[in-house]
Structure 1
């Protein structure tokens, strides 16, 4: 017996559809998370090639503190105080200047958000502020290893289950299904490899975009085809005859 998405039991369709809907919402939230993290790397809202370069290669002409003070944090301090903070960072963040000049500015302008009770760096501590004042070399090797292994395991499971559901589609040629289920894994490896390559050279930033876009397109293609065949394509019996029965029969109480 050949199993097809359109001929699966009603309960199986509900299960598969529920999974696909939750994963689609999760994918959308992940895109928002990228927009609000990497998308602010250059100090401007919106994801760009510069954001990717700054996230992985870094902005080696200045510090993270300077980038933020000239970007989204610019309205929170007057020009004179911003100049003092930036100059302090460029001078190597000396502690004696911090105690005399920088600490009062930080306590007045920054610590209401940058404190131990938030997810932001705690600027009550000199060490954390100094870390932000160092030259930005992008993602660390440790963070790349951590994020790479999480993505290799987690995203692989997501695409495996989406691919299993898609394999039951009957309206797609078998060779095309084989290509479609393999593409997310190829683009996933491309995406992760591009992080490491961009860490070495900013010229590989475009590869990050290509890998992420490829995964997204593969996901959307399999998602639409699977949902379409489960709920829109007519049901057929074993002889190939279209069945006109309604799913409402599953919802009627049995006596």
Structure 2
């Protein structure tokens, strides 16, 4: 005789409410994260909106444009209090981004307009603009540094893994084909791991930027399906089943 496991029809209304508000909050947080990602990484190529070229510049770098130059021409330009400061920074980059002129010409601008967000305490995912070493890494053409990728990766893996686990635990209460369910709970984890791995590969092979986009999209879609299906079955689905886990 097969063992019977709990389904949404077996849990209390209080548990359903708790699960629902958790899933809705996670869904909203993910949408906000997407908006933040858009505004953080768009226009690196100097053009409005986010494109595959922006992803290439983020991880692989660009021979034509540095990360700081791309940001000053795009997303960071509105943050400058004086528009003339844009030309000061771009000229400094073109002249070799020397440390001496950084201290006299660039540091005062960045300290005034940029470091409130671009510092390790506020946002470890953004480049550190509080000192010359941090600014230099984005003022010269080249790929994202390995230390920065490792730092972002471990934060991403720890945080997202916990979220996927709790979403999956709730999703397991769905009444559906057990083999489909087993595959469904694994897909977002595989997509997350592929996404992070692709960051490092894109550093050397720019074409892998497409894998970054596709794996991130797969993870988001699989999360959305689990969330929506779980909420639907909690409140609207009546059929029960003796399927085993």
Q: What does residue 55 of structure 1 align with?
A: 58
Aligned residues: 228
Q: What does residue 113 of structure 1 align with?
A: 113
CA contact (8 A) 2:48 2:74 kept: no
How far apart are 1:10 and its partner, in Å?
1.0
Give the Cα separation in 1 of the matches to 2:130 and 2:184. 51
How far apart are 1:223 and its partner, in Å?
0.7
CA contact (8 A) 2:69 2:139 kept: no
How far apart are 1:94 and its partner, in Å?
4.0
Is 1:186 equivalent to 2:190 in the alignment? yes
- For 1:197-216, list aligned pairs within 5 A: 197-216=201-220
CA contact (8 A) 1:113 1:120 kept: no
Once the two structures are superposed, what CA deviation does each residue of 1:47-71 show, in whole Å capped at 9, x if it has no partner? 2101111111112323334323433
Gaps of 5+ in 1: 239-255
Q: What does residue 246 of structure 1 align with?
A: none
Is 1:139 equivalent to 2:137 in the alignment? no
Q: What does residue 170 of structure 2 align with?
A: 165
How far apart are 1:178 and its partner, in Å?
0.9
How far apart are 1:156 and its partner, in Å?
1.3
- For 1:36-55, list aligned pairs within 5 A: 36-55=39-58
Q: What is the TM-score with the length of structure 2 in the denominator?
A: 0.78
CA contact (8 A) 2:43 2:70 kept: no
Gaps of 5+ in 2: 120-127
SS where residue 42 of structure 2 aligns? helix
The structure with more radius of gyration: 1
Once the two structures are superposed, what CA deviation does each residue of 1:7-36 show, in whole Å capped at 9, x if it has no partner? 321111112112111211221121122112
Give the Cα separation in 1 of the matches to 2:157 and 2:138. 32
Aligned in 2, Cα 1:32/1:177: closer, same or farther, shift over 3 Å? same
Give the Cα separation in 2 of the matches to 1:124 and 1:200. 27
Q: What does residue 236 of structure 2 align with?
A: 232
Once the two structures are superposed, what CA deviation does each residue of 1:73-132 show, in whole Å capped at 9, x if it has no partner? 289535xx7556434322213466668xx72x986x7664246xx22479897x369627
Give the Cα separation in 1 of the matches to 2:148 and 2:114. 22
Aligned in 2, Cα 1:113/1:174: closer, same or farther, shift over 3 Å? same
The one of 91, 97, 111 aligned to 1:93 = 97
